Amino acid sequence: MNIWLTGCTAGIGRALVDEFIQLGHTLAGCGRNQPVLDTLEAAFPGNYFAAVDVTDDAAVQTFCEEASANVGPPDLLINNASIINHPAPLWEVPSDEFDHLMAINVGGVANFIRSVVPLMIEHKTGTVVNLSSGWGRSTSPEVAPYCASKWAVEGLTQALAQELPNGLAAVAVNPGVINTGMLQRCWGEAADQYQTPQQWAVKAAPFLTVLGPDDNGSSLTAP
């Protein structure tokens, strides 16, 4: 399977790289940490890794063209790249921080869909997985911008599912609670009681690769 993954240099994205490749899949991944991308490129020849700002539609389009040329069109796109706000009441979150979060968490998803779905339509197959959150289906104080972005991802995914032709699918997936840098920002040492990205990816990678048309429009939770 040819898998395209955003946010592949940290957290669950980085952990998924190892699992997908171990399972024999081909990967095109993007992120913002160039040293990590260089390490991935050296460690996993035959795959494709590049630095991309997901908020830049032109940069996303270029990445998709180059990824397709290097590894072929995607069978599975996983929109994973996201950030979380510094915990604070909504009225104390600066406008530039709010706008930047929405540009990545929602705009970045839309940018990749804009470039990838036409490739999937051309090949009459493909699944778009947009990673949501428990905070895309519930809320907590001091993370209102993040909640808003993930609720938006849920709605965007369901609308996209209604637009796709037969053979394609759009699925929102809540990865669950994982001890990532984002969780540590919110919960501090309490995050240590949850599974690591590596532990999560062992179960999640096989789950993600079997999603398809029968799951179109679903809001699922990873095992």
Task: List the catalytic residues.
Answer: 146
User: Looking at the chain, how many residues does it have?
Assistant: 223
Q: Give the whole-angstrom CA distance, residue 220 versus residue 176.
A: 10
What is the SS3 assignment for 174?
Answer: strand
With CA atoms as reference, report the closest residue to 172 among 125, 120, 127, 122: 127
Q: Give the whole-angstrom CA distance, residue 52 versus residue 32.
A: 6
Are the beta carbons of 40 and 23 closer than 8 angstroms? no
Residue 78's beta-bridge partner residues?
A: 5, 129
Burial 119-137 (b: 16+ CB within 10 A, else e): bbeeeebbbbbbbbbebbe
Residue carrying structure tokens 């905070």: 135
Are the beta carbons of 126 and 119 closer than 8 angstroms? yes
Are the beta carbons of 145 and 100 closer than 8 angstroms? no
Q: Give the whole-angstrom CA distance, residue 12 versus residue 2.
A: 18
Residue 76's φ and ψ, nearest 5 degrees, are -140, 125
